[in-house]
C-alpha cells in the first residue's frame, strides 16, 4: 500500500515539497540535482512521479526564495542549493520558532487565501469554489505546518447575516467551465437557454463579456449581436454550451463590467431620499456604524425620530430594505417611492386583516432587530 494513500492530494504535495526542502538543507553546499531528488522520492518515500513534477516542485520552492539552481561543469543537470539565510523546514511542534522573511510572507499569503476562501465562500458558487480548493488546502497545510503567529487566526473568524441567504442555484460544472474558457479566449458561444418568462428553451449566439457573482447566482454579462443591448443571464438556466472559437466576441466600446451588476432599477437616475427613522435605526446608520450612503444628513425631529436625507439609486433592493424595517422607517420623499411603499403595505395588510378581525388577542410583536 502506498504510504500516502488516503491523504488529501494537496497535503501530499505540501509534504513532498517540505521533504525536498529538508534534503537540500541537509545537503548544504553539495546540493542535489532534480534526478537525485526524483530517485530519493521514489526510494525513500515511495512516491512515483515524473521528473517534470519534481522540477515543478523545485520551481515552487524557488519562487518562495528558499532554493536556487546553479550550473556545475561536472553535472549534466543543474545543482539545487538552499538560498543563503533561508530558514530550515520548521517542525509542526516548534510553534515558537521565528520564521524567516520569505516564510513569513508565504504564511501571510496563505492566511489571506484561507481567510478569503472560508469567509467569502458564500459569494461564490460551488463550481467556482472547487476551482480554488487545491490552493486553499495547500495554504491551510502551510499554516498548520509552519505555525507562525498568522496561523493562530485559523478558526477565529466567522461571518454571518441577519438576511435570509437563498440556496445556490444548481449550475452544470461543464457549462461554467466552457463559459470561463470563452471569456479567457475572447470567443463566442452557442447556447441552449431556458427563458423562464416564456417557459421554453431557446438557442442563442452570445458574445461573453464577464461574470457577475451575485447573491446565490452567477450571471453571464453578454450580448447576442447588439452591443447596445447588454444582457445578464443566470448560468443555472443554461442547458447546453458550444464554443465558437473561430468567432471573436465583440466587446462594446467603453464597456465596464462593474456597470452591469445585476440590479433591478426602478428609476434610471439616483433619487434624493428623505426618510423619517427612529432612534435605534439612526444609531445603526450613523457614519461610524453602517451608513446607508457615503453622504447623508441627519436632522433631529423630536420624540425619538430623525430625518435622513441622501442621494441613492432607486432600486428594488432599496424598496426591500425599507419594507424590511417595518414601522421604524417612513418614506417622505420622493412621492413615487412613498406611493409604492404605501401600495405594498396596503396589499400586505389585506392578507392579514381578516385574521385580525376574528382574533380576540393581539399577536406578539416581532422583536426589533435593527441594532
Rounded distance between C-alpha atoms, residue 243 and residue 179, angstroms = 8
Omega within 30 of 0 (cis) for the link into 170 = no
Question: Residue 17 domain-assigned?
Answer: yes
State the angle between helix axes of 51-63 and 9-27 in degrees (0 to 180), rounded to the nearest 10.
70
Please indicate, yes or no, whether residues 108 and 149 belong to a single structural domain of this protein.
Answer: yes
Name the 3-class secondary structure at 230. coil
pTM for this predicted structure: 0.55
Please indicate, yes or no, whether residues 247 and 280 belong to a single structural domain of this protein.
Answer: no
Please indicate, yes or no, whether residues 223 and 290 belong to a single structural domain of this protein.
Answer: no
| Domain interval for residue 255 | 173-260
Question: Residue 138 domain-assigned?
Answer: yes
Residue 153 confidence (pLDDT): 60
CATH number assigned to the domain comprising residue 177: 2.30.30
Question: Residue 159 domain-assigned?
Answer: no
Please indicate, yes or no, whether residues 285 and 248 belong to a single structural domain of this protein.
Answer: no
Residue from 203, 208, 154, 221 nearest 181 by CA: 208
**Which residue's entry shows cell 553535472?**
75
State the angle between helix axes of 316-324 and 335-357 in degrees (0 to 180), rounded to the nearest 10.
40
- Phi, psi angle pair for 177, to nearest 5°: -65, -45
- C-alpha angle 99-100-101 in degrees, rounded to nearest 5: 120
**Which residue's entry shows cell 446565490?**
216
Residue from 230, 180, 189 nearest 207 by CA: 189
Rounded distance between C-alpha atoms, residue 124 and residue 102, angstroms = 30
Domain boundary among 82, 109, 135: 82
Domain boundary among 236, 260, 284: 260
Residue 203 confidence (pLDDT): 95
Question: Residue 163 domain-assigned?
Answer: no
In total, how many domains does the chain have? 4
Residue 145 confidence (pLDDT): 64
State the angle between helix axes of 34-44 and 51-63 in degrees (0 to 180), rounded to the nearest 10.
110
Residues with Cβ < 8 Å from 343, sequence gap 6 or more?
none
The cell numbers describing 180, all together, are 470561463
Rounded distance between C-alpha atoms, residue 238 and residue 235, angstroms = 5
**Which residue's entry shows cell 472547487?**
130
Name the 3-class secondary structure at 120. coil
Secondary structure tally for the chain: helices H, strands E = 9, 12
Distance in Å from the first CA to the final CA of the chain: 58
Please indicate, yes or no, whether residues 239 and 285 belong to a single structural domain of this protein.
Answer: no
Ordered per-residue pLDDT tens for the chain, 371 residues: 344 444 445 556 777 888 888 888 888 888 899 889 998 888 877 778 888 888 888 988 887 778 888 876 666 778 898 887 766 664 433 334 444 555 555 667 777 788 788 777 656 666 667 777 877 887 777 776 655 455 556 666 666 667 777 777 888 888 988 998 899 889 999 999 999 888 999 999 999 999 888 777 889 999 999 998 999 999 999 999 999 999 999 999 888 888 877 667 788 889 999 999 999 999 999 999 999 999 999 999 999 999 999 999 998 889 999 999 999 999 999 999 999 999 999 999 988 887 655 554 544 434 444 44
Domain boundary among 93, 121, 153: 153
Buried b (16+ CB within 10 A) or exposed e, 325-354: beebbebeeeeebeebbeeeeeeeeeeeee
> Cβ(66)–Cβ(83) under 8 Å?
yes
| Cα dist from 174 to 101, 146, 211, 323, whole Å | 41, 37, 15, 39
- C-alpha angle 251-205-129 in degrees, rounded to nearest 5: 75
Omega within 30 of 0 (cis) for the link into 266 = no
- Strand 296-302 vs strand 305-312: parallel, antiparallel, or unpaired? antiparallel
Question: Residue 95 domain-assigned?
Answer: no
Chain length of the chain: 371
Please indicate, yes or no, whether residues 146 and 194 belong to a single structural domain of this protein.
Answer: no
Ramachandran area for residue 304 (φ above 0: left; ψ -120 to 50: alpha; else beta)? left
> Cβ(110)–Cβ(142) under 8 Å?
yes
Amino acid at each position: 500500500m502506498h504510504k500516502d494513500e488516503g491523504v488529501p492530494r494537496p497535503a501530499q504535495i505540501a509534504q513532498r515539497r517540505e521533504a525536498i526542502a529538508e534534503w537540500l538543507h541537509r545537503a548544504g553546499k553539495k546540493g542535489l540535482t532534480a534526478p537525485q531528488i526524483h530517485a530519493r522520492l521514489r526510494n525513500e518515500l515511495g512516491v512515483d512521479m515524473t521528473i517534470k513534477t519534481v522540477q515543478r516542485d523545485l520551481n515552487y520552492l524557488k519562487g518562495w526564495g528558499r532554493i536556487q539552481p546553479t550550473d556545475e561543469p561536472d553535472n549534466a543537470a543543474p545543482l539545487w542549493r538552499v538560498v543563503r539565510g533561508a530558514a530550515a523546514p520548521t517542525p509542526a511542534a516548534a510553534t515558537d520558532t521565528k520564521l524567516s522573511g520569505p516564510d513569513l510572507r508565504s504564511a501571510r499569503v496563505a492566511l489571506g487565501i484561507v481567510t478569503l476562501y472560508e469567509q467569502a465562500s458564500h459569494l461564490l458558487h460551488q463550481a467556482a469554489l472547487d476551482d480554488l480548493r487545491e490552493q486553499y488546502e495547500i495554504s491551510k497545510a502551510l499554516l498548520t505546518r509552519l505555525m507562525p503567529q498568522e496561523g493562530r487566526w485559523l478558526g477565529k473568524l466567522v461571518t454571518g447575516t441577519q438576511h435570509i441567504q437563498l440556496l445556490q442555484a444548481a449550475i452544470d460544472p461543464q457549462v461554467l467551465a466552457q463559459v470561463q474558457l470563452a471569456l479567457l479566449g475572447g470567443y463566442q458561444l452557442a447556447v441552449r437557454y431556458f427563458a423562464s418568462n416564456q417557459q421554453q428553451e431557446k438557442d442563442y449566439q452570445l458574445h461573453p463579456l464577464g461574470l457577475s457573482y451575485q447573491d446565490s447566482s452567477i450571471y453571464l454579462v453578454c450580448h447576442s449581436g447588439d452591443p447596445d443591448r447588454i444582457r445578464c443571464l443566470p448560468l443555472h438556466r443554461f442547458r447546453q454550451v458550444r464554443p465558437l472559437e473561430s468567432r471573436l466576441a465583440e466587446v462594446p466600446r467603453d464597456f465596464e463590467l462593474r456597470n452591469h451588476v445585476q440590479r433591478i432599477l426602478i428609476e434610471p437616475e439616483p433619487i434624493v431620499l428623505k426618510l423619517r427613522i427612529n432612534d435605534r435605526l439612526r444609531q445603526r446608520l450613523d457614519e461610524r456604524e453602517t451608513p446607508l450612503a457615503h453622504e447623508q444628513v441627519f436632522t433631529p425631529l423630536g420624540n425619538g425620530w430623525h430625518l435622513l436625507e441622501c442621494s441613492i439609486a432607486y432600486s428594488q433592493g432599496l424598496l426591500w430594505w425599507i419594507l424590511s424595517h417595518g414601522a421604524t422607517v417612513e418614506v417622505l420623499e420622493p412621492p413615487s417611492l412613498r406611493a409604492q411603499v404605501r401600495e405594498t403595505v396596503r396589499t400586505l395588510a389585506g392578507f392579514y386583516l381578516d385574521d385580525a378581525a376574528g382574533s380576540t388577542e393581539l399577536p406578539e410583536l416581532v422583536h426589533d432587530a435593527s441594532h
